[in-house]
Amino acid sequence: METAITSPWSCEESQYISIAELYEMFSGNVDAQVIIKAEELGVFSIEGTEVRVNSMKLLDVARILTSKGLPLIHLLEILERTQTNVEQVANDFVKLVATHVLEPYGEANLPPREILPELTELVWELRPLAEKSVNVELAKAMGEAANTFLADKLSEIFSQELNKQK
């Protein structure tokens, strides 16, 4: 049970890149404001002449989106809101388990030994199940946002193109 609780919940390990590599990844569009914000959010930390990147996956997402013209500082603002919301969801899932699975045994009483394997399994399953639920809701929200913010604009562009061809 202790291993299930204390093991890292992410399989991604930190990686080191040079400051020059960081600037190259973002075509030089890294300024002091971006560095400060990224460090505050735990995206990376500057360690001498190296950058300790906590999630290369996350940094790569930012690299791809900035290469498409999205401002890095605005992506970091979205990340900040995402972290806050995801932290709340994580807290809610863990509190739910604590309240409905552990609390009935009271503060002084531990769950019976025979149910420890079941509790351990629940803890191991919690992260991927919570992750799936977040992914489902994010996909749904992205679809709705795309319809809200892009559908009318794209329709207008297509209409203009069709009128040009006539």
**Total-model pTM:** 0.80
Q: Which two tokens stand for residue 51?
A: 């950058």
pLDDT given at position 151: 82
pLDDT given at position 28: 82
- Give the domain ranges of the chain: 2-165
pLDDT given at position 65: 97
**10-residue mean pLDDT series, the chain (166 residues):** 71 92 92 96 95 96 96 97 95 89 75 84 90 95 91 83 80
* Contacts within 8 Å (CB) and 24+ apart, 30-35: 30/72, 33/73, 34/72, 34/73, 34/76
